[in-house]
Structure formats: C-alpha cells, structure tokens
Structure 1
Amino acid sequence: MRLIHNMTTIAECATPDYSRPNRALKIAVIGGGGVGKTALVVRFLTRRFIGDYERNAGNLYSREVQVDGEQVSLQVQDTPGVEMSDNGAVLPDHVSCSLQWADAVVLVYSVTDRRSFDLVSQLHQRVTRCGNGGGGPPVVLLANKADLLHLRRVDPQQGPLLATTLGCAFYEVSASEDYSQVHDAFHRLCCQLAKQRPPQSVPPAPAEKRRPKSPNMQDLKRRFKQALSAKVRTVTSV
C-alpha cells in the first residue's frame, strides 16, 4: 500500500520504490540548547502522522518524499545544543560534523531565550565556512516558541533584521501550535536543494552517416562498354 499526502510540491511516500537509489537532501538543524530543535524536526516530518519516519541512534531522521515530482530521500539531522562561552560558540564535534555533512542548514533560536538569539550570528559564520568558497549552504532562520508571548525576550522585529543581515529567509514559528510555518521553512530548503541538481550529461549526437552517392549512369555505361570490349578482344584472340 502506498500513501501519498500532497504537500504543495512535496509529497510523503510511506512505501517508496527502492528499485533505484534516490537522491538525498541533507538538512542539519542547529541552535542553542532548549530552543526546540527536536520538536521542529518531528513536527515537520510527521505532519500529524505517527510512525511514518525513521530515526537512528544519532538523531538522524529520514523519510522518502517527492519534491517537485522527484522522489528523494530527505535526511534531517537534529544536533545537540550549542553553548556560548567567553570565547564564543562552543560546537560539539557532532555539530561540526553535521555542518560538513549537510546540504542546507536550519538555524534555530527561541524567542524566550536571548542568549540563543545572540548565538545565531556566530553559528552562521561557522556555516558559511563550510561552503568551500561558495558562500555556504542555503540557510533558513527559525524563531521558535512564538506562542509563549508572556515569556518573550527577543523583539519580533529583531529576527527579520538579523535574517536580512545574514542574507537568509526568516520564519517565526511555534512547533507546538503552528504546523504550516514550520513546513514552509523546511519546504523552502527542500525546493532550493532540488533545484541544485547536477547538470545532466547529454550524450553526444551520433556521427552523421554519409549517404552513399547514387551511381552515375554514364559512368556505368562507360564501364560496361569497357568490360564488353575486353571480352570481345579475348574471344577474337582465341
């Protein structure tokens, strides 16, 4: 049985076709501790369906999806929380490896935690360094826990301003209440990655076969006369 749930341009496939390997879209989710990264990942991947994704021991979530008509393996890495020290952001080894592994990154802070917001710029610098000179992978900035208005410590205007400075998209979301904005953020990255598919090699055109020329009738007549004359001479000589 195959279940496909339409998600604008992303469809979820419960029983994909494994006849050929699918292209993988790899997304790392990073941010300070306690900002709700895991809740965001699960919220996006389950879309209110339970048990239709896989997670390994390293908190790598995966599921088969269709992006713009192409079936791909979506892999989302939930990383440990990053802490701030006097010398800046302290990245656990697992986070550093995830940044090297990922094709795209979701930066998360909580509107209830000012330190997590202050951490974003340093994390973005680390992400950019992973770009191998290409400016870094695509990034989306998420401000989580937007439903906790009474605990807000980051003004609503500061998130969009920071995203503009960093040159990335911004979404203020609530993993516990609003699925649509969470989906839109991840969906944006998926579509960006899908468009970055390697150019397909075009097989060279087969060499044009030269069409044989039509026989020249005058030439044929000349050759026929020569052959006939040689035959007559042979008979006469005998």
Structure 2
Amino acid sequence: MSGHFLLAPIPESSTDCFLPKDIKLAVLGAGLVGKSAMIVRFLTKRFLGDYEPNTGKLYSRLVYVEGDQLSLQIQDTPGGIQAQDGLSQAVDSLSKCVQWAEGFLLVYSITDYDSYQAMRPLCQLIRKVHPDSKAPVVTVGNRGDLQHARQVQTQNGVPLASELGSLFLEISTSENYEDVCDVFQHLCKEVSRAHSPAGERRRASVIPRPGSPNVQDPKQRFKQALSSKVKAASALG
C-alpha cells in the first residue's frame, strides 16, 4: 500500500459494528487561493480547476487512518478574506467554523502577497477560539507550479509558520496529488492523536516545528516524518 493512500475511503456498504471517531478540519484562507480545489483533489484525486465557490461547503467521508476508522469532515470556507479593509469583519464571521473544527489548514497562494498577509489574523482567531488547546495547524503555500508569478518567497513562509506554531509546506494542487494528500494525512493524524490519551502518543511520530535548528527543508522533513508510517502501511498491505 502506498503511503499516500493511508486515508482510504471506506465503501458505503461497510458493515463495521463500531461508530467511527470524528475528525473535523477547516480549510481557511483568502479567496482564489485554491482551497476548494485542494479539498476536491484530495477526496477525488482529480484536479477540476482552480475554482473557489463561496459556498462554505462541508465535505464528509469515512476514511482509515493508521488502521482506525474515522469520520472525516472538511469545512470549506468562503473566500473574500484579504488583508485589507473589512478583514476583521470577515474573520469574525468564521468564528463558528473555527469553534467547530479541531484541525486547521491555512492556505495562501505564492502568487498573491495579500493572501499571505491574511495568515496571521486567521491563526490569531484560531488561538483565540481555542486558547487552552494546541489545535493542529498546517500553513500551505499553494500554486507552487506558478514560479513565474511568485510574489511570496519560500523564505517568507518558513518564519511565518514558525511564528504561528504550525508546519509549513509549499505545494501545487494541480500537479502533485501526493503533496495534497500528505497535508490532510498529517492533520488527520494530529487530531486523532489529540483524541487519544497522552500515554498512547508516540513521541517519534511528532513532526518538528519549523524554526527548529534541525529543520532545514520543511518539505523534506515533512515527508521524512511520515516515512515510518508509510513503511508500516506497506508492510501490512
């Protein structure tokens, strides 16, 4: 089994007699950064274009994560959030969604500096709504294939993620399904571990935060940290 397919859909006819655990994720970011495209790409493996419908749609799917059956819910949020006038009002409108979710994907486009600037207010909202918890957060610079139009450098994303206390990764939703899958896998695993007793968590599975002296290449470290799970899944496949 490939490590990029650890989150495998469960057939609708599954007759498992136990109730799945809930995993609630929210994908936040400015408009037209590819949030909806990332979700659809992850769930269907197909890239349907960089559309960004402002519907706030909720996606549901039964999946397996490391052998556990989970009920995955992904909340897509409306676009229109920009680091300009009206940002505070837009952020306030997301409070209920942030309160509902347990893990967060903050997405900006490397071709849109304003979308990058919207990351801090969004993360501040998450920490305000969840002050007593370490809700997992991943910061993603999307559209990594559009290097000719880049406005946000990679070296800008790394310190931002370190400041926000999140993992950082640059990806291309249109070109690399595996990176998109890695992002959601990591979030699901971190939320799942948060649901487990502290004694059951394996320290070796914790991914170093950006900003650590040992973190030179966030993308490489991200994949290395998942490698042990990938090998375990392959052995069982």
Q: Could you say which TM-score interval applies, normalised by the shorter chain?
A: 0.7 to 0.9
Q: Which residue of 2 aligns with 1:59?
A: 57
Q: Which residue of 2 aligns with 1:107?
A: 106
Q: Return the offset for 1:199.
A: 4.1
Q: Which moved more, 1:84-93 or 1:96-105?
A: 84-93
Distance of aligned partners of 1:90 and 1:46 in 2 relative to their CA distance in 1, 3 Å threshold: same
Question: TM-score, structure 2 length as denominator?
Answer: 0.72
Residues 104 and 189 in structure 1, CA contact (< 8 A), matched pair in contact too: yes
Structure (1 or 2) with the greater helix fraction: 2
Alignment of 1:220-231 (within 5 A): none
Question: TM-score, structure 1 length as denominator?
Answer: 0.72
Select which of 187, 190, 213 maps to 1:189.
187
Alignment of 1:118-133 (within 5 A): 118-133=117-132
Q: Which residue of 2 aligns with 1:170?
A: 168
Is residue 46 from structure 1 mapped to residue 18 from structure 2 by the alignment?
no
Alpha-carbon separation, structure 1, partners of 2:56 and 2:16: 24
Q: What SS does the aligned partner of 2:94 have?
A: helix
Q: Return the offset for 1:63.
A: 0.7
Q: Which residue of 1 aligns with 2:35?
A: 37
Is residue 73 from structure 1 mapped to residue 71 from structure 2 by the alignment?
yes
Residues 83 and 90 in structure 1, CA contact (< 8 A), matched pair in contact too: no
Alpha-carbon separation, structure 1, partners of 2:147 and 2:98: 32
The size of the alignment, in residue pairs, is: 190
Q: Which residue of 2 aligns with 1:154?
A: 152
Map Cα deviations across residues 82-113 of structure 1 (whole Å, 9 max, x no partner). 23334644326652211010010000000010
Q: Which has the higher contact order (CA 8 A, sep 6+)?
A: 2
What percentage of residue pairs aligned between the two structures are identical? 40
Q: Which moved more, 1:19-28 or 1:59-68?
A: 19-28
Q: Which residue of 1 aligns with 2:11?
A: 14
Q: Which residue of 1 aligns with 2:90?
A: 91
Q: What SS does the aligned partner of 2:83 have?
A: strand
Which blocks of at least 5 consecutive residues in structure 1 are unaligned? 51-56, 201-238
Structure (1 or 2) with the greater strand fraction: 1
Residue identity in the other structure for 1:10: L
Residues 47 and 173 in structure 2, CA contact (< 8 A), matched pair in contact too: no
Q: Return the offset for 1:151.
A: 1.0
Residue identity in the other structure for 1:111: I
Alpha-carbon separation, structure 2, partners of 1:31 and 1:8: 26
Residues 89 and 123 in structure 1, CA contact (< 8 A), matched pair in contact too: no
Q: What SS does the aligned partner of 1:34 have?
A: coil
Residue identity in the other structure for 2:139: L
Question: Which structure would you say has the larger Rg?
Answer: 1
Alpha-carbon separation, structure 1, partners of 2:17 and 2:89: 43
Distance of aligned partners of 1:150 and 1:103 in 2 relative to their CA distance in 1, 3 Å threshold: same
Residues 5 and 13 in structure 1, CA contact (< 8 A), matched pair in contact too: no
Alpha-carbon separation, structure 1, partners of 2:131 and 2:167: 21
Q: Return the offset for 1:12.
A: 2.1
Distance of aligned partners of 1:197 and 1:109 in 2 relative to their CA distance in 1, 3 Å threshold: same
Q: What SS does the aligned partner of 2:19 have?
A: coil
Q: Which residue of 2 aligns with 1:206?
A: none
Alpha-carbon separation, structure 1, partners of 2:131 and 2:15: 34
Alpha-carbon separation, structure 2, partners of 1:31 and 1:116: 7
Aligned-residue CA RMSD in angstroms?
2.5
